[in-house]
Structure 1
Amino acid sequence: MPMSQPDASGSSEDGVTPDDQLHTRPGAEVSPEDLVLAAGRDVTPENLEWARRKLAEEGPAALDKLLP
């Protein structure tokens, strides 16, 4: 059975975005909320504080570690 190819919009039939279309924008500022959402966590005060600490320690690379 052939594998389906994503259409021009970049979405596939099962709703999964292909890895080659997932990326961060170089030079873009990363917010604590960005990091929380990329980690799959809910945006709560505790998770935002976690993200602030991660960003202070690792900088924008903290987001790169979570995304493909």
Structure 2
Amino acid sequence: MSTSQPDEASRRLSDDRATPDDLLHAAPSEASPEDLVLASGKDITPSTLAWAKRKLAAEGQAAFDKLAP
């Protein structure tokens, strides 16, 4: 049975108790209305896309940042 070397992410996870932020968060640099709808836990429909477009227009990237973990 061969043993393989753990990759960098696996080593970092085993060395720390908490998962590092760069492995948890993958926020887009500029959220699309679809990103915002999905981050809110809603299904993509014409009405939720309209909601997301209004929210992004009013709040910009902060609208997505508020929803992303």
TM-score, scaled to structure 1: 0.64
Letter in 2 for 1:43: I
- Is the counterpart of residue 40 in structure 1 residue 41 in structure 2? yes
Aligned-pair identity in percent equals 61
SS of residue matched to 1:33: helix
Aligned length: 51
Q: Deviations over 1:11-63 (max 9, x none)?
A: xxxxxxx57333224xx221000000000000000000000000000001100
Question: Partner residue of 1:22?
Answer: 24
Larger Rg over CA atoms:
2
Q: Structure 1, unaligned stretches of length 5 or more?
A: 1-6, 9-17
Once residues 30 and 62 of structure 2 are traced to their aligned partners in structure 1, the CA distance between those partners, rounded to angstroms, is: 11
RMSD over aligned Cα atoms: 1.8
> Comparing both structures, which one devotes a greater share of its residues to helix?
2
TM-score, scaled to structure 2: 0.64
- Is the counterpart of residue 51 in structure 1 residue 52 in structure 2? yes
**Which ranges of 4 or more aligned residues in structure 1 deviate by more than 4 Å?**
none
